[in-house]
Chain A
Amino acid sequence: MAQLSYRDAVARGIAQEMRRDDRVVLVGEDVAGAGGVFKTTVGLLDEFGPHRVIDTPISEQAILGAAMGAAMTGLRPVAEIMFSDFFAVCWDLVVNQIAKTRYMTGGQVTLPLVIKTGNGGGLRFGAQHSQSIENWAMAVPGIKVVTPSTPEDVVGLMAAAIRDDDPVLFCEHKGLYSMKAEVADGEIVDTLGTAKVRRAGRDATILSLGMMMPRALAAAEDLATRGIDAEVIDVRSLIPLDTRTILASVAKTGRLFTVEENPQVLGWGAEIAAIVADEGFWDLDGPVQRITTPHIPLPSADSLEDLVMPSAESVASTVEKALQS
Chain B
Amino acid sequence: MRSPLSDHRYGEHGVVLPPERGDRNDGVDIDAATRMRLYRSMREMRVFEKRAYDLFMKQLVKGTSHLSLGMEAIAAGFGVAMRDDDYTFATYRGHAHTLARGVPMTPVLAELLGRANGLMGGKGGSMHLTSVEHGMMGSYAIIGAHLTIANGAAWSAQYRRSGQVTVCFFGDGTTNIGAFHEALNYAAVYRLPIVFVCENNLYMEYTSISDITAVPHPAADRAGAYGLDAVVIDGNDADEVHLTAVGAIDRARSGGGPSLIEALTYRHGGHSRADPGKYRPGAEVEAWKAYDPLTVYRERLVRLGVPESDLDAVDAAALALVDVATEEAVAGDLPAPESAFTDVWADGGWSWRN
Give B contacts to A, CB under 8 Å: 87, 119-121, 123-125, 128, 130-133, 137-138, 140-142, 144-157, 159-160, 166, 178-179, 182-183, 185-186, 189, 342-348, 350-354
Asked if A184 is at the interface (CB within 8 A of a chain B CB), the reply is no
- Are A109 and B149 touching (Cβ within 8 A)? no
Q: How far is the CA of A305 from the CA of B285 in the complex (A)?
A: 61
CB distance from A11 to the nearest CB of B (A): 21
Q: Which residues of B contact A112 (CB under 8 A)?
A: 346
Asked if A259 is at the interface (CB within 8 A of a chain B CB), the reply is no
Q: How far is the CA of A93 from the CA of B153 in the complex (A)?
A: 15
CB distance from A251 to the nearest CB of B (A): 15
Q: How far is the CA of A62 from the CA of B144 in the complex (A)?
A: 10
CB distance from B108 to the nearest CB of A (A): 13
Q: Which residues of A contact B186 (CB under 8 A)?
A: 56-57, 59, 62, 66
Q: Which residues of B contact A107 (CB under 8 A)?
A: 342-343, 348
Instruction: Scan residues 88-107 of chain A and give those whose CB is less than 8 A from a CB of chain B.
Output: 92-93, 96-97, 101-107
Q: List 5 A-B contacts (CB under 8 A).
A: A61-B178, A70-B152, A70-B159, A142-B345, A243-B353
- Are B153 and A70 touching (Cβ within 8 A)? yes
Q: Which residue of the partner chain, among B123, B166, B353, contacts A105 with CB atoms under 8 Å?
A: B123
CB distance from A55 to the nearest CB of B (A): 10
- Report, nearest first, the 4 A-B pairs whose CB atoms are least far apart: A69-B152, A65-B148, A165-B346, A106-B120
Q: Which residues of A contact B148 (CB under 8 A)?
A: 61-62, 64-66, 68-69, 93
Q: How far is the CA of A288 from the CA of B106 in the complex (A)?
A: 54
Q: Which residues of A contact B147 (CB under 8 A)?
A: 65
Instruction: Scan residues 117-154 of chain A and give those whose CB is less than 8 A from a CB of chain B.
Output: 141-142
Q: Which residues of A contact B137 (CB under 8 A)?
A: 69, 72-73, 109
CB distance from B296 to the nearest CB of A (A): 34
Asked if A321 is at the interface (CB within 8 A of a chain B CB), the reply is no
- Are A62 and B183 touching (Cβ within 8 A)? yes
- Given the known A-B contacts A73-B156, A141-B350, are A65 and B179 also in contact in the complex, defined by CB atoms under 8 Å? yes
Q: What 0/1 readout, one digit per residue, does chain A (217-246) give for beta carbons within 8 Å of chain B?
A: 000000000000000000000011111100
CB distance from A56 to the nearest CB of B (A): 7
Q: Which residue of the partner chain, among A77, A105, A241, contacts B132 with CB atoms under 8 Å?
A: A105
Asked if A25 is at the interface (CB within 8 A of a chain B CB), the reply is yes
- Are A242 and B354 touching (Cβ within 8 A)? yes
A side interface size, CB within 8 A: 48
Asked if A108 is at the interface (CB within 8 A of a chain B CB), the reply is yes
Asked if A43 is at the interface (CB within 8 A of a chain B CB), the reply is no
* B160 closest partner in A (C-beta): A74
Asked if A51 is at the interface (CB within 8 A of a chain B CB), the reply is yes
Other than A69-B166, A193-B353, give 7 A-B pairs with Cβ distance below 8 A: A61-B183, A66-B148, A70-B156, A73-B157, A102-B345, A105-B123, A240-B352
Asked if A166 is at the interface (CB within 8 A of a chain B CB), the reply is yes
Q: How far is the CA of A240 from the CA of B153 in the complex (A)?
A: 28
* A93 closest partner in B (C-beta): B145
Asked if A67 is at the interface (CB within 8 A of a chain B CB), the reply is yes
Q: Which residues of A contact B153 (CB under 8 A)?
A: 69-70, 72-73
CB distance from A68 to the nearest CB of B (A): 5
Q: How far is the CA of A314 from the CA of B160 in the complex (A)?
A: 54
Q: What 0/1 readout, one digit per residue, does chain A (170-191) give for beta carbons within 8 Å of chain B?
A: 0000000000000000000000
Q: How far is the CA of A216 from the CA of B352 in the complex (A)?
A: 25
- Given the known A-B contacts A65-B149, A75-B156, are A166 and B346 also in contact in the complex, defined by CB atoms under 8 Å? yes
Q: How far is the CA of A107 from the CA of B339 in the complex (A)?
A: 11
- Are A65 and B152 touching (Cβ within 8 A)? yes
Asked if A71 is at the interface (CB within 8 A of a chain B CB), the reply is yes
* A55 closest partner in B (C-beta): B189
- Are B345 and A104 touching (Cβ within 8 A)? no
* B123 closest partner in A (C-beta): A106
CB distance from A162 to the nearest CB of B (A): 14
Q: Which residues of A contact B352 (CB under 8 A)?
A: 141, 239-241
Q: How far is the CA of A59 from the CA of B190 in the complex (A)?
A: 13
Q: Which residues of A contact B131 (CB under 8 A)?
A: 108
CB distance from B87 to the nearest CB of A (A): 7
- Given the known A-B contacts A93-B145, A105-B128, are A66 and B123 also in contact in the complex, defined by CB atoms under 8 Å? no
CB distance from A190 to the nearest CB of B (A): 16
CB distance from A127 to the nearest CB of B (A): 23
CB distance from A245 to the nearest CB of B (A): 9
Q: How far is the CA of A67 from the CA of B287 in the complex (A)?
A: 44
Q: Which residue of the partner chain, among B145, B160, B346, contacts A96 with CB atoms under 8 Å?
A: B145
Q: Which residues of B contact A72 (CB under 8 A)?
A: 132, 137, 149, 152-153, 156
Asked if A289 is at the interface (CB within 8 A of a chain B CB), the reply is no
Q: Which residues of A contact B344 (CB under 8 A)?
A: 102-103, 141-142
CB distance from B187 to the nearest CB of A (A): 9
Q: Which residues of B contact A74 (CB under 8 A)?
A: 156, 160
* A107 closest partner in B (C-beta): B343
- Are B151 and A69 touching (Cβ within 8 A)? yes
- Are B178 and A109 touching (Cβ within 8 A)? no
* B189 closest partner in A (C-beta): A57
CB distance from A276 to the nearest CB of B (A): 12
- Given the known A-B contacts A106-B121, A106-B124, are A66 and B138 also in contact in the complex, defined by CB atoms under 8 Å? no
Asked if A110 is at the interface (CB within 8 A of a chain B CB), the reply is yes
- Are A68 and B152 touching (Cβ within 8 A)? yes
Q: How far is the CA of A64 from the CA of B133 in the complex (A)?
A: 24
Q: How far is the CA of A74 from the CA of B343 in the complex (A)?
A: 18
- Are A96 and B142 touching (Cβ within 8 A)? yes
Q: Which residues of A contact B183 (CB under 8 A)?
A: 61-62, 65
- Are A70 and B182 touching (Cβ within 8 A)? no
- Are B346 and A61 touching (Cβ within 8 A)? no
- Are A65 and B353 touching (Cβ within 8 A)? no
CB distance from B126 to the nearest CB of A (A): 11
* A138 closest partner in B (C-beta): B352
Q: How far is the CA of A77 from the CA of B137 in the complex (A)?
A: 18
- Are B159 and A51 touching (Cβ within 8 A)? yes
Q: How far is the CA of A112 from the CA of B345 in the complex (A)?
A: 10
* B121 closest partner in A (C-beta): A106
Q: How far is the CA of A239 from the CA of B354 in the complex (A)?
A: 10
* A66 closest partner in B (C-beta): B152
Q: Which residues of B contact A275 (CB under 8 A)?
A: 353
